[in-house]
Amino acid sequence: MSTTDLDIFGQPQEETAIVEIDEPVNLRPDLSTYGIIEVERGVCEDTFENRKLLRNGKMGWDTVYSSNGVPTGLIQARSMEMAKERRMLSLSEKKPIMVDPVSINSDYLTGLDLLAESATDYLVPPWVIGATRMWVKEQDEPVASQKRQPTALPSRCRTIKDDGIRCMLWSSGRPKDDGLCRVHLRSVKKRPGEDIERARQKLTQAAPYAVDMLEDMMENAISEPVKLKAATEILDRAGVRGGIEFDASVKVTDDRPAAVIIQERLARLATGAALQVAGELAASGVELTNDTSDIQDAEEVEEN
């Protein structure tokens, strides 16, 4: 290591991170027309407001990384024209495996024609080559087992996107896939709970920008209640909550002795019990009387 790579203490200096943007400047959209402050052409800070403006402009974005692979806090806008230009460049590279190289929506070569093309090795996914070879082999040696389904022949996905260009991914060729690739097949057949998972992921991604919005409201809001509410929400989410008054004293409103209160409660209970017994006897047809003339003294019986 040369001396220029060491600091004054003899320790290796950290590599200076360089922002890497491979997209040509002339293809990047002008974000100033959408009210976004650009760091450079087509690049802005990764904030909730900027993403909202990009969504309103029907544009996507890509995270900008530095040369050491660390996110820079910037995003690069991706317009529909830019995405279409990228796809056109990718299609120009795939012309050797297209049936009609002039047509952008042409089918891909399949079967022996695909295996005979020299550009197949670096333009076609390995699983497509393997399935095609298995299909060719089964044409000469059909599958003897009735339980095993014949190998399907992969082909180009039949979905046409919003820009009018056909999807460039491969379909497995199975009848149940209906000529769709794994991406568009997933959008048609959703597994249970997938929408909930996507919603949770969106909430997680929007959390940092929600905090940015609260901070902005706390600093720049005109209304004092709005500022107070934003500051309270930030403190609450951070775990810092206001104190709660708790009074453990017992207030006694009855100054009578406890014995008198208990005696009154017992008397009320006895009266209620007598009324309940009387009601049950009346319901069963037994008449109550206060005549004690028929009462005879019981005779004591001695036990042996």
Domain count, the chain: 3
Q: Domain for residue 184, yes or no?
A: yes
pTM of the model: 0.46
Q: Domain for residue 265, yes or no?
A: no
Most confident of 194-198, 241-245, 289-293: 194-198
Residues 6+ apart with CB under 8 A from 161: 167
pLDDT digits (tens, 9 = 90+) for 212-259: 888 888 888 888 888 888 888 877 777 666 666 666 666 666 677 778
Identify whether residues 216 and 178 lie together within a single domain.
no
pLDDT over 50 at 4, yes or no: no
Domain coverage including residue 227: 202-236
Average pLDDT, the chain: 78
Q: What is the DSSP string of 231-298?
A: HHHHHHHTT----------------S-HHHHHHHHHHHHHHHHHHHHHHHHHHHTPPP----TT--PP
pLDDT digits (tens, 9 = 90+) for 13-32: 445 556 666 667 777 888 88
Q: Domain for residue 279, yes or no?
A: no
Q: Domain for residue 138, yes or no?
A: yes
The least confident of 99-113, 198-212, 266-280 is 198-212
Label residue 181 exposed, middle or buried (CB < 10 Å: 0-12, 13-18, 19+): buried
* Per-residue pLDDT at 3: 44
Q: Domain for residue 246, yes or no?
A: no
pLDDT digits (tens, 9 = 90+) for 72-107: 888 888 877 777 777 888 888 888 999 998 888 899
Identify whether residues 111 and 173 lie together within a single domain.
yes
